[in-house]
Amino acid sequence: MIKKVQENKDVVYICEICDLSYEDKEWAKKCENWCRKNDSCNLKITSHSLESES
Ligand SMILES: [Zn+2]
């Protein structure tokens, strides 16, 4: 399940498996699907997470 979290005015979507957060629900879904199947992170997906932005 993707967690939907309100942060100030912004809504972020969090992958419950790896705990990365995304502005875009679609990326959060992709992340979660990947995490569940592969038990690891996919850089192409995690690069879209808020944590990967500096
Ligand atoms: Zn994930």
What's the chain look like in SS3? Answer: CEEEEEECCEEEEEECCCCCEECCHHHHHHHHHHHHHHCCCCHHHHCCCHHHCC
Residue 52 belongs to a domain: no
Residue 29 belongs to a domain: yes
Q: CA-CA distance, 54 to 37, in Å (whole number)?
A: 28
Residue 39 belongs to a domain: yes
Quick: pLDDT tens for 17-42: 999 999 999 999 999 999 999 978 79
pLDDT at 28: 97
Find the domain containing 27 and state its range. Answer: 2-47
**Is pLDDT above 60 for 9?**
yes
Residue 23 Cα to ligand 1 midpoint, Å, equals: 13
If one counts the domains in the chain, the total is: 1
Residue 10 Cα to ligand 1 midpoint, Å, equals: 20
Residue 53 Cα to ligand 1 midpoint, Å, equals: 16
Residue 9 belongs to a domain: yes
pLDDT at 53: 67
Residue 45 Cα to ligand 1 midpoint, Å, equals: 8
Residue 53 belongs to a domain: no
Residue 31 Cα to ligand 1 midpoint, Å, equals: 4
pLDDT at 40: 80
pLDDT at 25: 96
